[in-house]
Amino acid sequence: MRILYCGSDEFSIKVLQSLMNQKNIQVEVLGPSNKILKEKRESSIYVPSIVRYCNNNNIPYVQSIDVLKDKIINKKYDALVAVSFNKFIKASLLNYFTYNFNLHPSLLPFYKGSSPIQRSLINNEKYIGITIQAIDSEKFDNGKIYMQTKPLLVSDLTNKNYMLSNVEYVYDKNKTDEICLNEDDRDYRFSKIMEPNSKKFNYKYDYLRNSLAMISGDLMKEFFSKQIYNCHTTNTNDFIQYLPFKQPFFAKKINNSTFQLNWLKESISTLVNKVNITDDCCYSYVKEIYTKNDMTLWRPRKVFFRNVNIFRDSSPFLIEEKVGSFRLFNNNLLVKCANNQVLQVNELKPEGAKTFITPQEFFLTKFKKLYKHQIYLFNTIKEIREEYENNLSKIQIDKTIEAIIYENSKKKKNCVETLHI
């Protein structure tokens, strides 16, 4: 079988390696274009992982579909396989292939979208899995399901002491079988992912994604060796319908606003989990008072959180105090959360600071120095924007604050990339 393989990252490389080891399969790779990354006023060119891998291993690849147009039109490929590709593949391209498949790291129809692994961790899901589906030409992750693992425990896959072993899967609507995993690549499984979109998460994400990548490689091997692509397909599978999955069903793309803590809307368990699975990037806002043209103004400043837990003693906050209020209590920084629960924060970092500090340092020195007022309240940027707009008649319009509060509220055009010829 002649395959056009569409991939981008280390996850897709694991599946590619499995395909390359199959007899009677020829693979050519279509990778994404290089990206310009901007960080701290410096720019660099990022070459996608799969492009570097193909370069180093003499695997034929291109980074533009236009190069392959004649081959595709002349039916030089039998199947299109997409893994971690993040482009919407249109019918005008799919129609040239006898088969088309996508491997998606979730138990579809749950967690459709670009970030199923990250969102499963953020939502503290108990289960995760892998699905091989047909590619739908109208919606992301909406194709007929060929093959799917039974639910895998996230706690197992993120545990360094857990050995990957047999994984059961369902195919041909209701047949079951299993793959026997040979975990001879432990260095890979427990390695740090160095790709740009993975830097904000800690080792739990690395372990989970790498474990799923290893399982995915063996699953794809089984898929082709058994020719499961000739079996019946289904939209849903009964064995996942009774799992206690949480909303949302769509795994939205991860961006900076994902790591903002919403004290009113997020449960305290979600707040704790979000902070403890990320690498020092969860934040909230406080007001900073500053002087400009002899006027006293304020602007939102970020405060980053690390090492948090639920405060189990009686709440020191009054019922009328707002959610997001904080105070120093017995040398602990406490924050009032929804349902009158309390979060204990053990380390913080004001925006612009180089290191995290203790609650005592933050409250008694840094906070009073940077934020010259007695309103001890963490806010979301949306709440700060609403307060600013409600008080425009009382304050002078200030471009400094507007540059901050409207930065993330500008409407962006639909930026979903498509693949077509």
* Residue ranges per structural domain of the chain: 2-254, 256-405
Superfamily of domain 256-405: Formyl transferase, C-terminal domain (3.10.25.10)
Q: Which residue has the tokens 């969102």?
A: 119
Radius of gyration of the chain from its Cα atoms, rounded to whole angstroms: 25
Q: What is the architecture, at CATH level 2, of domain 2-254?
A: 3-Layer(aba) Sandwich (3.40)
pTM score of the predicted model: 0.90
Q: Which residue has the tokens 């795994």?
A: 251
Query: How does pLDDT run along the chain (421 residues), one tens digit per residue?
Result: 999 999 999 999 999 999 999 999 999 999 999 998 877 667 889 999 999 999 999 999 999 999 999 999 999 999 999 999 989 999 999 999 999 999 999 999 999 999 999 999 998 999 999 999 999 999 999 999 999 999 999 999 999 999 998 999 999 988 999 998 876 778 899 999 989 888 899 999 999 999 999 999 999 999 999 999 999 998 766 667 667 776 667 899 998 899 999 999 999 999 999 999 999 999 999 877 767 777 666 778 899 999 999 999 999 999 999 999 999 998 889 999 999 999 999 999 998 889 999 999 988 777 766 665 557 888 888 887 787 777 665 555 556 666 666 665 554 445 678 888 8
Q: Give the distance, in angstroms, between the CA of residue 359 and the centroid of all CA atoms in the same chain.
A: 29
Asked if 401 and 300 count as a contact pair (C-beta separation under 8 A), the reply is: yes
Q: How many angstroms separate the CA atoms of 109 and 81, rounded?
A: 19
Name the β-bridge partners of 39: 42
Instruction: Supply the DSSP symbol for 256.
Output: G
Among the listed residues 377, 355, 214, the one whose alpha carbon sits nearest the alpha carbon of residue 285:
377
Distances from the Cα of 224 to the Cα of 20, 23, 179, 374, angstroms = 12, 10, 13, 65
Among the listed residues 153, 118, 111, the one whose alpha carbon sits nearest the alpha carbon of residue 11:
118
Asked if 117 and 206 count as a contact pair (C-beta separation under 8 A), the reply is: no
- Left if phi > 0, otherwise alpha if psi is -120 to 50, otherwise beta: which for 85? alpha
Q: How many angstroms separate the CA atoms of 285 and 259, rounded?
A: 12
Q: How many angstroms separate the CA atoms of 358 and 113, rounded?
A: 38
